[in-house]
C-alpha cells in the first residue's frame, strides 16, 4: 500500500494543479482506489488527504463519486394491474381500483 501511495504522490507532484483544475479520469480512478483502501484500513479523510497530498474533501468527494453505482434488485413476475393504482408515500400499494373506489380511498386517507 505504501508503494501505491508513493506512486500516487509522485504522479500528483508532476501534475499542473490548481483550484478548479480537473483530474484526468485515470488519475481520478487511482485516487479513488488508494483512498478507499486507506479508508477501509480505518484512516480518516484528513489522514488520507495528508498521506496522498490532497485536501481531505477532494479525496472524499472523488472516492464517493467513483463508488459503484449498482444496487441489488429483485425482479418479480407480476401481471399488469388493470385499473388505477394508488401508492402511498409510506410505501403501501393498492391496485386494480376503479375511479370511484380510488376517490373514496383517497378521501378516507386524507
Q: Model's pTM, two decimal places? A: 0.57
Q: What is the C-alpha R_g of the chain?
A: 25
- Annotate 6-19 with b (16+ C-beta within 10 A) or e (fewer): eebeeebeeeeeee
Query: Any idea which fold 2-65 has?
Result: Arc Repressor Mutant, subunit A (1.10.10)
26-70 pLDDT, tens digit each: 999 999 999 999 999 999 999 999 999 999 999 999 988 866 666
Task: Judge whether residue 78 has pLDDT over 80.
Answer: no
Structural domain spans, the chain? 2-65, 78-110
Residue 80 has pLDDT above 70, yes or no: no
Strand partners, 97: 84
Question: By CB neighbour count within 10 A (0-12 exposed, 13-18 middle, 19+ buried), where does 63 fall?
Answer: buried
Amino acid at each position: 500500500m505504501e508503494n501505491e501511495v508513493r506512486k500516487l504522490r509522485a504522479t500528483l507532484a508532476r501534475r499542473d494543479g490548481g483550484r478548479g483544475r480537473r483530474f484526468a479520469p485515470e488519475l481520478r480512478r487511482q485516487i479513488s482506489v488508494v483512498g478507499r483502501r486507506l479508508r477501509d484500513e480505518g484512516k480518516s479523510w484528513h489522514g488520507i488527504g495528508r498521506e496522498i497530498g490532497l485536501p481531505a474533501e477532494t479525496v472524499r468527494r472523488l472516492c464517493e463519486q467513483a463508488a459503484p453505482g449498482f444496487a441489488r434488485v429483485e425482479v418479480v413476475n407480476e401481471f399488469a394491474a388493470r385499473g388505477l393504482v394508488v401508492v402511498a408515500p409510506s410505501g403501501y400499494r393498492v391496485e386494480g381500483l376503479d375511479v370511484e373506489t380510488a376517490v373514496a380511498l383517497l378521501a378516507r386517507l386524507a
